[in-house]
Amino acid sequence: MSVEGLKKSAVLILALGEEKAAEVLKNLTADELQRISRAISELKGVNDAYLRKVLRDFSVDVKSQSALGVNNDEFLKDILEKTLGEEDAGLVLGRILNKQDYSSGLDVLKNMPPKQAAQLIVNEHPQIISTILVFLTRQKAGEILTELPVEVRNEVISRIATLDGIPPEALTEVNISLSKLLLKDDSQRGLGGVRPAAEILNFLGTEVSDNVMQYVAGIDEELSQQIKDEMFIFDDIIKIRDRDMEIVLQQISSEGLVTALKGVSDALRDKFLNNMSRRAGDLLREDLEAKGPVKLSEVEKQQREILAVVTGLLGAGTISVMSEGDEEEFI
């Protein structure tokens, strides 16, 4: 078998899940088992488009057996039912034969009212729900979380924070069990983790967010602190509405700001400059140009002090951040 053939076989076996894959593997010869095991261990960068291709190629291979005198679709249906079960096989077969777009389910969920979306997934296992939410925008995920029962919401955030990528077999299980939420882009890895959990919490109300954080802290204090540290980072100041930046600037020292802005992006630096008076902006530019090298630890210290002011104002509702897709209004 070619290298590509081994890769396709590995993907197909992983897509079956552990139990069903084991049933397939136990029928292989020792040599076949060794080769396919190596292919599985070396499998990287599998995306949804490739998974669809493997499934369609599999259906073509099965259909090529027409000379054996069997009905192609019936044969494919039978073999999938024996492998996946009747209900799951029906969903997979429908996507193969109809060339259904795997992104359509995600689009449906993305445009669904949060309450309706929450009702759709509320009875799923928290691990399934967490997998679903990391594929949505942070704001949408937060809106859906708000509609879920407290105990479900808390458990889901904990799982998102500890989620370390989405393996192909997990994606397949989600796709099949829900049949409505499917992968939109090509990336499977790098989803989940502390930052997505924190970003979702940023879009929840203070009371809800505090309750979730108390729950996480009760389970894992270190994880809770990691989430808290990521909930609003210095770069996120760029998301603060321009009309609120004046309030922020009134409560931070100019000297501390000069240090905090060392090494930041031009966009973030301009966020401060554009919301100052011309004179104050000119003075800040001069101070930035004149400022010599500064220890990274001192820059981070000043950034943390400014962040403490910003998060305090955010928590009090004095200032707000722009939601994804929002634009500043001008009159």
The stretches of 242-277 forming alpha helices (DSSP H) are 242-250, 254-260, 266-273
Question: Residue 63 pLDDT > 60, yes or no?
Answer: no
CA nearest neighbour of 12 among 4, 185, 286, 235: 4
Check whether residue 223 and residue 244 sit in a common domain.
no
For the segment 81-96, the average pLDDT, to the nearest whole number, is 55
Check whether residue 127 and residue 193 sit in a common domain.
yes
Check whether residue 253 and residue 161 sit in a common domain.
no
* CA distance linking residue 118 with residue 109, whole number of Å: 10
Check whether residue 283 and residue 238 sit in a common domain.
yes
Q: Would 129 be classed as within a structural domain?
A: yes
Q: How many CB atoms lie within 10 A of CB 212?
A: 24
* CA distance linking residue 283 with residue 261, whole number of Å: 14
For the segment 47-63, the average pLDDT, to the nearest whole number, is 70
Tens of pLDDT, residues 255-274: 999 999 998 999 999 999 99
* CA distance linking residue 280 with residue 328, whole number of Å: 23
The single residue listed with the structure tokens 């909930």 is: 231
pLDDT above 90 covers a percentage of the chain that reads 19
- Among the three residues 104, 131, 159, which one is the final residue of a domain in this structure? 104
Do 74 and 59 touch, CB atoms closer than 8 A? no
Do 201 and 231 touch, CB atoms closer than 8 A? yes
Q: Would 194 be classed as within a structural domain?
A: yes
Check whether residue 61 and residue 120 sit in a common domain.
no
Say how many domains are in the chain. 3
* CA distance linking residue 199 with residue 214, whole number of Å: 17
Q: Would 148 be classed as within a structural domain?
A: yes
What is the domain extent for residue 78? 3-104
Q: Would 261 be classed as within a structural domain?
A: yes
Angle, helices 168-178 vs 86-98, to 10°: value is 100
Q: Would 322 be classed as within a structural domain?
A: no
* CA distance linking residue 48 with residue 111, whole number of Å: 21
For the segment 21-47, the average pLDDT, to the nearest whole number, is 67
The domain that holds 253 is classified in CATH as: 1.10.220.30
Tens of pLDDT, residues 208-219: 778 888 888 888
- Among the three residues 57, 73, 104, which one is the final residue of a domain in this structure? 104
Check whether residue 202 and residue 128 sit in a common domain.
yes
CA nearest neighbour of 237 among 259, 261, 201: 261
Structure tokens at 90: 């029906």
Check whether residue 74 and residue 85 sit in a common domain.
yes
Check whether residue 141 and residue 224 sit in a common domain.
yes
Mean pLDDT, the chain, whole residue set: 75
Tens of pLDDT, residues 110-120: 777 888 888 88
Check whether residue 271 and residue 217 sit in a common domain.
no
CA nearest neighbour of 141 among 167, 170, 163, 169: 163
Do 135 and 196 touch, CB atoms closer than 8 A? no
* CA distance linking residue 5 with residue 58, whole number of Å: 11
Check whether residue 42 and residue 149 sit in a common domain.
no
E strands in 206-308: none
Do 143 and 178 touch, CB atoms closer than 8 A? no
Q: Would 323 be classed as within a structural domain?
A: no
- How far from the centroid of its chain's Cα atoms is residue 207's Cα? 23
Check whether residue 112 and residue 226 sit in a common domain.
yes
pLDDT category of residue 73 using cuts at 50, 70 and 90: low
Q: Would 326 be classed as within a structural domain?
A: no
- Among the three residues 202, 230, 258, which one is the final residue of a domain in this structure? 230
Tens of pLDDT, residues 157-200: 999 998 877 665 555 555 555 554 433 333 344 456 787 788 77
DSSP string for 13-77:
HHHT-HHHHHHHHTTS-HHHHHHHHHHHHT-----HHHHHHHHHHHHHHHHGGGGGS--HHHHHH
pLDDT category of residue 249 using cuts at 50, 70 and 90: very high
pLDDT at 185: 34
Q: Would 327 be classed as within a structural domain?
A: no
Check whether residue 8 and residue 88 sit in a common domain.
yes
Least confident span in 85-89, 138-142, 205-209, 223-227: 85-89
How many residues are given for the chain?
Answer: 331
